[in-house]
């Protein structure tokens, strides 16, 4: 009779726990992201330099979101033009830039490192699950696009995108509200810097 390998069982248990955490994060993104934001705010030590540089990075990320939002018509057609020629997930990549900008504004490397780890745990399963859903929805068209365009980190692909930019889609996705939220975040970090005497 063979006996189970305790190390193998431990590995499977750990994978099960991590998979459960990923699953929860992918379906509760707001709740999962909230502690990361609170962490940055509580341990933020903004300086004038960190605020200026971080705000510029945040605005760059928001510009990326506005660019991507003008091409995507969710579940209606596959977006392959604009930033979707360089990455399959330009919105999430832009979110990462925005988050990096707020980390710079916080000027606390330890909070930033922990925040990046948590951010990765939250969004890695989201990317995987959405890729599976898109393949189910668009089939061969998605598979051909996915074979040419990277999942996350952008790179020139030469993939022939189809579609044109539409401000109506930007408005439909309420990107203007997201932009206002980013400006509010910049103002909040500025206020924290003033309150802590760093300005």
Residue 181 lies in a domain: yes
Residue 50 lies in a domain: yes
- Lowest mean pLDDT segment, chosen from 20-24, 48-52, 171-175: 20-24
Task: Give the pLDDT score at 121.
Answer: 78
Residue 4 lies in a domain: no
pLDDT band of 12, cuts 50, 70, 90? very low
Residue 7 lies in a domain: no
Residue 162 lies in a domain: yes
Give the position of tokens 């922990």.
114
What does the mean pLDDT of the chain come to? 85
CATH of the domain at 66: 1.20.120
Task: Give the pLDDT score at 78.
Answer: 93
Domain count of the fold of the chain: 1
Structural contact between residues 179 and 94, judged by C-beta atoms closer than 8 angstroms:
no
What are the distances in angstroms from CA 79 to CA 3, 21, 39, 66, 187? 52, 30, 35, 14, 33
Q: For the stretch 165-190, what's the b/e string if a residue is b when 16 or more beta carbons lie within 10 angstroms of its beta carbon?
A: eeeebbeebebeebbeebeebbeebb
CB atoms near residue 108 (< 10 Å):
19
Q: Is the per-residue pLDDT at 185 higher than 80? A: yes
Residue 3 lies in a domain: no
Residue 95 lies in a domain: yes
CB atoms near residue 53 (< 10 Å):
15
Q: Is the per-residue pLDDT at 167 higher than 60? A: yes
Task: Give the pLDDT score at 157.
Answer: 83
Domain that residue 55 falls in: 29-195
Residue 71 lies in a domain: yes
């Amino acid at each position: 009779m063979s006996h189970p390998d305790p190390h193998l069982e431990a590995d499977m248990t750990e994978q099960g726990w991590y998979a459960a955490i990923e699953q929860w994060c992918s379906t509760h993104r707001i709740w999962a992201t909230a502690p990361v934001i609170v962490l940055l705010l509580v341990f933020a030590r903004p300086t004038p330099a960190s605020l200026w540089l971080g705000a510029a990075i945040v605005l760059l990320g928001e510009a990326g979101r506005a660019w991507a939002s003008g091409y995507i018509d969710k579940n209606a057609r596959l977006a392959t033009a604009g930033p979707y020629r360089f990455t399959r997930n330009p919105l999430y990549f832009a979110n990462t830039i925005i988050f990096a900008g707020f980390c710079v504004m916080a000027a606390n490397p330890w909070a930033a490192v922990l925040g990046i780890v948590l951010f990765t745990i939250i969004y890695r399963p989201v990317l995987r699950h959405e890729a599976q859903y898109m393949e189910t929805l668009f089939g061969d068209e998605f598979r051909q696009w996915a074979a040419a365009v990277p999942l996350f980190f952008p790179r020139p692909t030469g993939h022939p995108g189809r579609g044109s930019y539409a401000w109506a889609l930007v408005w439909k996705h309420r990107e203007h509200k997201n932009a206002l939220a980013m400006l509010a975040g910049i103002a909040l970090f500025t206020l924290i810097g003033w309150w802590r005497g760093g300005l």
